[in-house]
C-alpha cells in the first residue's frame, strides 16, 4: 500500500473513532442531563415537601405561641387572683392575731390584780379584807431577824429573790426587816407610832388601808451593820446598790427626797414590774408623780 493510501486510511480511522467518541459522549451527556433533570425534579419535590413541613411547623409554632400567650395570660390572672386572695387571707390573719392579742391582753389583765399598781399613800384605799392571792415566806438568809416570818406575794417573790441574790453576788449586805403587813397590823403599828410621835407619825407612817405593805409587794431594807434602825440607811453601800440596780428587778423607791406624801424613806422599796421600773429610772421620775391612767398601762406587763 502506498504512503498516500496509508495516510488516507489513518484519517478515515481517526474520523471513525471521533464519531464513535462523539456518539458515546452525546449518550453520556444525555444520560447526565436525564439524571440531572431527575435529581432536580426530586430536589424540587423535596424542597416543596420541606416548605410544606416548614409551613406546618410555623402553623404549629403560631398555635403554640397563641396557646402560650393564653396560658401566660391565665397564669397572670391566677397570680393576680392569688395575690388578692393571699392579701385578703393575710389581712384576715392579722385581724385574727389582733383579736387573739386583744383577747390575750384582756385575759392577762383579768388575771392581774388591778390593785397592784394603784397609788395608795393617802390616795387609794385598801379595805381590811384585802390580802394577796398567795404568800411565800422570805428565806431566813435574807431577813434581819430570822425568828420573824416575813411574808411576800408568791408571784413576785422570784423577782425579789433575784434582787437579793444579785446583791449577795456583789457582796452587798442587804436584809429585810418588814414585808407584808395586814390591815390590822398596820393599824396597830400606826397606833404605836401615834402614841410615841403624836401627829408627827403621819409624816412617816401610813394609816391602815393606805400602806403599800398590805399589797405584799413592798419591803423595808436594812443592813446588819445598820441594825434594825432605818436612820442612816441612805449612807450605806446597800442603798447605793439599790439605787443603781433595784429597777432591773422591778423595784422602785416609793418615797424619795422631796416627795409629797411622806418623809424620805430610802429603805422602802415597792415592786411595780420591770417595764415601769426601768421607765421611771430612765426618765428620773417618781411613781407617785405619774397620772394613775399612765401607770395602769403597765399593768399588762406587771409579771413580765
pLDDT in tens, 201-210: 556 666 787 8
Q: Are residues 90 and 135 in the same domain?
A: no
Mean pLDDT check: name the lowest of 8-12, 27-31, 292-296: 8-12
Give the rounded distance of the alpha carbon of 100 from its chain centre.
16
- Domain end among 111, 140, 155: 111
Q: Are residues 104 and 242 in the same domain?
A: no
CB 292 within 8 A of CB 119: yes
SS3 133: coil
Domain count, the chain: 2
Which residue segment(s) compose the domain that 136 sits in?
A: 114-301
pTM (2 decimals)? 0.65
Mean pLDDT check: name the lowest of 43-52, 75-84, 250-259, 294-303: 75-84
Counting beta carbons within 10 angstroms of the beta carbon of residue 135, is it exposed (0 to 12), middle (13 to 18) or buried (19 or more)?
middle
**The pLDDT of residue 11:** 66
Residue 103 has pLDDT above 60, yes or no: no
- Domain end among 67, 94, 111: 111
Residue 17 has pLDDT above 90, yes or no: no
Q: Are residues 153 and 283 in the same domain?
A: yes
- Domain end among 79, 111, 143: 111
How many whole angstroms separate alpha carbon 215 and alpha carbon 287?
Answer: 16
How far apart are the two ends of the chain, measured CA to CA in Å?
145
The pLDDT confidence band at residue 236, using thresholds 50, 70 and 90, is very high
The pLDDT confidence band at residue 89, using thresholds 50, 70 and 90, is low
Amino acid at each position: 500500500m502506498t504512503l498516500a493510501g496509508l495516510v488516507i486510511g489513518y484519517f478515515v480511522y481517526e474520523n471513525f473513532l471521533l464519531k464513535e467518541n462523539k456518539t458515546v459522549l452525546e449518550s453520556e451527556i444525555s444520560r447526565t442531563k436525564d439524571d440531572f433533570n431527575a435529581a432536580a425534579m426530586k430536589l424540587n419535590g423535596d424542597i416543596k415537601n420541606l416548605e410544606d413541613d416548614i409551613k406546618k411547623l410555623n402553623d404549629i409554632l403560631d398555635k403554640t405561641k397563641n396557646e402560650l400567650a393564653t396560658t401566660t395570660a391565665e397564669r397572670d390572672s391566677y397570680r393576680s387572683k392569688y395575690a388578692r386572695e393571699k392579701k385578703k387571707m393575710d389581712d384576715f390573719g392579722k385581724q385574727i392575731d389582733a383579736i387573739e392579742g386583744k383577747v390575750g391582753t384582756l385575759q392577762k389583765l383579768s388575771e392581774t390584780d388591778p390593785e397592784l399598781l394603784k397609788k395608795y399613800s393617802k390616795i387609794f384605799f385598801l379595805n381590811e379584807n384585802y390580802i394577796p392571792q398567795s404568800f411565800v415566806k422570805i428565806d431566813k438568809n435574807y431577813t434581819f431577824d430570822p425568828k420573824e416570818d416575813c411574808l411576800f406575794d408568791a408571784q413576785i417573790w422570784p423577782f425579789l429573790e433575784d434582787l437579793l441574790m444579785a446583791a449577795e453576788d456583789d457582796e452587798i449586805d442587804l436584809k429585810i426587816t418588814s414585808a407584808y403587813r395586814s390591815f390590822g397590823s398596820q393599824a396597830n403599828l400606826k397606833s404605836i407610832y401615834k402614841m410615841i410621835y403624836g401627829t408627827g407619825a403621819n409624816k412617816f407612817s401610813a394609816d391602815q388601808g393606805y400602806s403599800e405593805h398590805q399589797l405584799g409587794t413592798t419591803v423595808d431594807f436594812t443592813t446588819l451593820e445598820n441594825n434594825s434602825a432605818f436612820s442612816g440607811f441612805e449612807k450605806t453601800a446597800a442603798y447605793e446598790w439599790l439605787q443603781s440596780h433595784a429597777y432591773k428587778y422591778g423595784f422602785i423607791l416609793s418615797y424619795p427626797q422631796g416627795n409629797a406624801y411622806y418623809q424620805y424613806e430610802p429603805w422602802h422599796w415597792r415592786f411595780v414590774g420591770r417595764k415601769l421600773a426601768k421607765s421611771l429610772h430612765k426618765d428620773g421620775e417618781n411613781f407617785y408623780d405619774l397620772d394613775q391612767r399612765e401607770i395602769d398601762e403597765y399593768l399588762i406587763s406587771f409579771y413580765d
